[in-house]
Amino acid sequence: MQALTPHVYWAQRHGEIYLRVEISDAQNLSIGVEENTLQFRGQGHGAKGENEYEFTLEFLKPVKPEVKHKSTQRQVNITVKKQEHAWWDRLTNQAKKPLFLAPDFDRWLDESDAEMELRKKEERINKISVESRIRKDRLKKSFLFMYNLVQFLGFSWIFVNMTVRLFILGQDSFYDTFHTIADVMYFCQMLAIMEVVNPAVGLVKTGVTPAFIQVMGRNFILFVIFGSLEDMQNKPVVFFVFYLWSTIEIFRYPFYMLACIDTEWKLLTWLRYTIWMPLYPLGVIAEAVAVIQSIPIFDETKLLSIPLPKATGLSLSFSYILQVYLVLMFLGLFINFRHLFKQRSRRFRTKKRKTN
């Protein structure tokens, strides 16, 4: 059977060529582009009835070799991507239009209309990406707001409870701080692990190391020194450690909450970036006192000691680790003090520049 040539209709956009081949119920299609020439072959029902149809088109400019096609009951639609984003004066290399080829007026656009369509498409894509960025930002801020609110409520409860008990019971309140406060403190400090996760996943723009030092340093004191040693739990040092921790947090978390809703209270900002100056060294000193007080207890109870080879019958007391930790604490203090100084001057420097 000799192959016939089907009617082919075409239209273009800046990036693509659309071909519509007038063959219904097409089968055994073979469509490909080689060296800028499209070869079409297939069986179906065309202008001259059921037959084998074929045609060849040599394009005006280079096209990509991959071709997309879709066969429907009425026609075969072919999409070819142009190599370069450009408007072509005609479809084929030869100046004279092949007889079987005609414009597809259903899809036809002239250059300026196609540009307009392209611009509208780009605007739509931009709008969608801006909207999705806004949605993500809102979700992120809502999450951070809730996190900061929970921490603020937790630390406010701790601070108010300790202050009220201090006023009512005086120095007696020092001795049972742990039993009244520990559960809420455990909750807040476990949750504070998010403060390491948040910068690590890019939720807040700040360093992971200072947050890690802060959270791990506190959790070490809370869970290991106070949590594992009952003898430490009724010492007055617990009061000072918890009070110093909560004093900064009742300013820091509302400051973050306001940042999440793009609001700033100058006094709160000043307090967040200033009161750590006396509180941080005092906090480290209080924590160091707790570690030093725990050393004889760990020695006596042999709790958390590391057994040495059986033959020696000895074990390495946890107090050695605590002595190393004491050094690390002051290293941690130095790193975080420097970090907080930088944060403070960055904050007040940019503020000043903005107001000038």
Ligand X SMILES: CCCCCCCCCCCCC[C@@H](O)CC(=O)SCCNC(=O)CCNC(=O)[C@H](O)C(C)(C)COP(=O)(O)OP(=O)(O)OC[C@H]1O[C@@H](n2cnc3c(N)ncnc32)[C@H](O)[C@@H]1OP(=O)(O)O
Q: Interface with ligand X includes 225 (CB under 6 A)? A: no
Q: Interface with ligand X includes 317 (CB under 6 A)? A: no
58 is catalytic: no
- In a 10 Å sphere around its CB, with 0-12 CB exposed, 13-18 middle and 19+ buried, how is residue 316 labelled? exposed
Active-site residue, from 18, 256, 280, 320: 280
Stretch that binds ligand X, among 12-20, 61-69, 206-214, 301-309 (CB under 6 A): 206-214
- One of 157, 220, 270, 320 touching ligand X (CB under 6 A): 220
Give the x/- contact pattern for ligand X in 270-299, rule: CB under 6 A: ------x--xx--xx--x------------
Q: Interface with ligand X includes 248 (CB under 6 A)? A: yes
- One of 19, 33, 144, 290 touching ligand X (CB under 6 A): 144
Stretch that binds ligand X, among 2-10, 70-78, 140-148, 300-308 (CB under 6 A): 140-148
147 is catalytic: no
- One of 244, 290, 291, 322 touching ligand X (CB under 6 A): 244
- Residue whose C-beta lies closest to ligand X: 283
Q: Interface with ligand X includes 77 (CB under 6 A)? A: no
- One of 18, 108, 175, 256 touching ligand X (CB under 6 A): 256
**Which residues are catalytic, by number?**
280, 287
**Contact residues: ligand X, CB under 6 A:** 144, 147-148, 204-207, 210-211, 213-214, 216-218, 220, 244-245, 248, 252, 256, 259-260, 276, 279-280, 283-284, 287, 328-329, 332-333, 336, 340, 343
